């Protein structure tokens, strides 16, 4: 990752690669907004989807009603379908936006960059984007349960909380409230039912 390498050159010059620094030092004078890095920065459209996914992941393409939203969602297929990851991704975008008019060099000397570098160097996995950092993943059992309930609601969007409660589905209310696509899915289902009756 370029930013990590440049940070290391600044804070740990004895350990950093001098050749790496000389190859990329011209980036230090550019505004952050002008940089095009590994999956970074996110576009405004992607950021809107990320903000939504920070509340309603795991999601599927069917959950988005506009073609552009579906496209933007596909552009984020590399990301883990975990709301905790998307919260971190959104938070990182907010930090980056704060410095978008500053030179990269100025950002790398900020307290935010120092704190991020510490997290990035202890990541323990392959970075998924340029400004990646550690986060606390959601429990897999909770994610799997949420996905199963949402898949049920995608197939039967007219089901209500009372129905799920009758089925003894855990955390039904929380899942329904966090499933932002449900009103759209219900509307589409009702259109199909209405059309089927109109044909007769």
Q: Measure CA of the first residue to CA of the last residue in the chain; give whole Å.
A: 61
Question: What pLDDT is attached to residue 18?
Answer: 81
Tokens 């984020």 locate to 76
Neighbours of 47 (CB within 10 A): 17
Q: At what angle do helices 44-56 and 67-75 cross, to 10 degrees?
A: 80
Residuewise pLDDT in 10s, the chain (200 residues)? 888 888 888 887 777 678 888 888 899 999 999 999 999 999 999 999 999 999 888 999 999 989 999 999 999 999 999 999 999 999 999 999 999 999 999 999 999 999 998 899 889 899 999 999 999 999 999 999 999 999 999 999 999 999 999 999 999 999 999 898 999 999 999 999 998 888 65
Q: How far apart are CA 118 and CA 4, in angstroms?
A: 10
- CA–CA gap between residue 73 and residue 64 (Å, rounded): 8
pLDDT recorded at residue 50: 97
pTM comes to: 0.87
pLDDT of residue 200: 57
The Cα diameter of the chain in Å comes to: 79
Question: What pLDDT does 6 receive?
Answer: 86
Count CB-CB contacts under 10 A for residue 103: 16
The pLDDT value recorded for residue 25 is 87
Non-local (6+) Cβ contacts of 27 within 8 A are 2, 6, 35, 104
Position 16 scores a pLDDT of: 66
């Amino acid at each position: 990752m370029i930013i990590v390498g440049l940070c290391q050159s600044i804070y740990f010059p004895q350990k950093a690669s001098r050749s790496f620094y000389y190859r990329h030092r011209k980036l230090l004078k550019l505004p952050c907004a002008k940089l095009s890095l590994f999956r970074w920065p996110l576009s405004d459209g992607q950021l809107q989807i990320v903000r939504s996914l920070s509340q309603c992941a795991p999601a599927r393409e069917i959950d988005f009603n506009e073609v552009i939203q579906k496209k933007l969602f596909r552009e984020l297929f590399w990301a883990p379908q975990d709301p905790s990851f998307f919260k971190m991704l959104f938070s990182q975008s907010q930090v980056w936006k704060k410095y978008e008019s500053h030179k990269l060099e100025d950002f790398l000397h900020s307290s935010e960059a120092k704190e991020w570098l510490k997290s990035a160097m202890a990541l323990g996995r392959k970075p998924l984007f340029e400004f990646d950092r550690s986060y606390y993943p959601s429990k897999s059992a909770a994610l799997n349960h949420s996905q199963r309930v949402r898949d049920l609601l995608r197939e039967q969007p007219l089901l209500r909380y009372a129905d799920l409660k009758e089925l003894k589905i855990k955390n039904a209310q929380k899942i329904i409230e966090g499933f932002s696509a449900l009103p759209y899915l219900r509307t589409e289902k009702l259109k199909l039912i209405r059309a089927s009756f109109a044909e007769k």
